[in-house]
Amino acid sequence: MNTDAIDLSIIAPAFAAGLLVLATHVPLGAQVLKRGIVFIDLAIAQIAALGVIVAGFAGIEQGWPVQLAAGAAAVLGAFLLTWTEQRWPDVQEAQIGALFVLAATGGLLLLAHNPHGGEHLRDLLAGQILWVRYEQLGVPLIATIVIAAAIFLCKDRLGRLAFYLLFALAVTVSVQLVGVYLVFASLIVPALGVRNHPERRRLPLAYAIGMAGYALGLLLSMVFDLPSGALVVWCLALLAVAAHALGPARPAP
């Protein structure tokens, strides 16, 4: 353990990136559980990552064109999932899983002959949150404010297509900041931890789990020199388990 390794100039922007992700993903997580489409986040995040890979394959590796490629891929995925839910609603979860596998394996195929493909894929999945800097957060901040405002103003009035499009845009903003794994964990894990609590307490408690999980995970990753994204996921999960265990018992069916 090395407490001297803690550098707030590194942790602070990483934590700010985590807060941006949580701002939209915590309320969207409640919607995902309510709609019973838990794996949509993994699918859309993987599709956005595939858009980044396609952009790199075309020689575009940084700047707004990469964001545009990721966003376009995610929006196309949202339209596709809207169409599949209209046509075959009884197997939507299976279709989401199939789309995730296709996007993931598509990325593997595109990176098969890239000498740095393994490293690039790992960065997209696990993220490089500790390398985030404040100057990277300007556009995500604006996008997060707009998306969060739409989520909270519309709440349960979001139709199928509007929900999928907001979801796609939120994931596009977050996947390049924190990676696919943290995007999924930020969406699902806090929502799972608070599902038995009174409804008025769920959202504040879910945000508390998210903020504490990011803060603790980032600090521990520097102290123990462990991968930050993976450690934040575990901290989120442990805090969610604690919140669930300390909450009220689920009523018997």
pLDDT attached to residue 60: 66
HSE value, Cβ hemisphere, 13 Å, CA-based, for 177: 28
Q: Is residue 252 part of a domain?
A: no
Block means of pLDDT (10 residues each) for the chain, 253 residues, are: 68 94 92 78 83 77 73 87 85 86 88 70 74 87 91 76 83 83 91 91 95 96 89 96 85 50
pLDDT attached to residue 252: 46
Q: Is residue 250 part of a domain?
A: no
Nearest to 171, CA basis, from 87, 46, 68: 46
pLDDT attached to residue 100: 87
Residue whose structure tokens are 């806090």: 190
Q: Is residue 127 part of a domain?
A: yes
Largest CA distance in the chain: 57
Give the CATH number, domain containing residue 49: 1.10.3470.10
Q: Is residue 165 part of a domain?
A: yes
Question: CB of 218 within 8 A of CB of 129?
Answer: yes
Concatenate the DSSP letters of all residues of 94-148 into one string. Answer: HHHHHHHHHHHHHHHHHTTT-TTHHHHHHHHHH--GGG--GGGSHHHHHHHHHHH
- Phi, psi of 88, rounded to the nearest 5 degrees: -135, 65
Q: Is residue 124 part of a domain?
A: yes
Q: Is residue 218 part of a domain?
A: yes
pLDDT attached to residue 86: 85
Q: Which domain holds residue 81?
A: 3-245
Nearest to 132, CA basis, from 3, 20, 249: 20
| Number of domains the chain is built from | 1
pTM of the model: 0.83
Tokens standing for residue 210 = 């998210």
Tokens standing for residue 109 = 């195929």
